[in-house]
Chain A
């Protein structure tokens, strides 16, 4: 395979495994070969939880406010299946000075998922100041 062909696959979104060479991928690396394609973050976003707007993001086309404390994100390029990993964290709700914790709703698909926030020590949903989220998995 030519370098051009390999680079095309790096840039493309196919499920091609790209393996780094020991000791050459990073000055901070100890050289263990990993799988670049699997490890690449496929989506990340910083969401304003009060305004339900995207502060900055990668591979997110829109966000909507579905209810208090609930934000639905829609991906630009969808995942190949719904078994990807989504992690999220929240910054507190400054309007009521309440600590918040995140969770992901079980209703997710290859193109969208919901990141929610609840107040600690209660079951009350709330709009946090910021949501931070990232996804890993296989793109379609």
Chain B
């Protein structure tokens, strides 16, 4: 049965590590994704608040959220791509929130700038949900 805790602050049993609920709310990621950019259509391995993924082209991916953000300004996304240390695998990923319910990522070779599909990519997003 669902229940509701109405509290302003959480602390541990010794009343230490006091944390306001506003901090917990604002400090909690609203979405995270671990996805395979080489899979057909791009495929999430693990995720939270992800409805679907879109493969928009080589090195271009969209994470479509189940619950949207309030807008595109009051939120932030971070990302990382995975690779080896060899020059051809020198990956760089850039990410932005293009709509309240979509996170766009672009993966490229950091040296040449050429877009390319990458096996392991990570995205995390914070902010206010709608």
Contacts and interface: CB of A to CB of B under 8 A. Distances in A.
Interface in A91-140: 101-106, 116, 118, 120-123, 125, 134, 136-138
Interface residues of B, number: 51
Contacts of A116: 85
A104 B122 contact: yes
Contacts of B96: none
A64 B12 CA distance: 31
A70 to B, nearest CB: 7
Nearest to A86: B122
Q: How large is the interface on A (under 10, 10 to 19, 20 to 34, 35 or more residues)?
A: 35 or more
B51 to A, nearest CB: 14
Interface string B27-54: 1111011100000000001111100000
A40 interface: yes
Contact of B82 (A25, A83, A89, A103): A103
Interface of B: 1-6, 10, 12, 21-22, 24-30, 32-34, 45-49, 67, 70, 78-88, 90-92, 110-111, 119-120, 122-124, 128-130
Interface of A: 1, 3, 6-7, 10-11, 19-21, 24-30, 32, 34-36, 38-41, 67, 69-70, 81, 83-89, 101-106, 116, 118, 120-123, 125, 134, 136-138
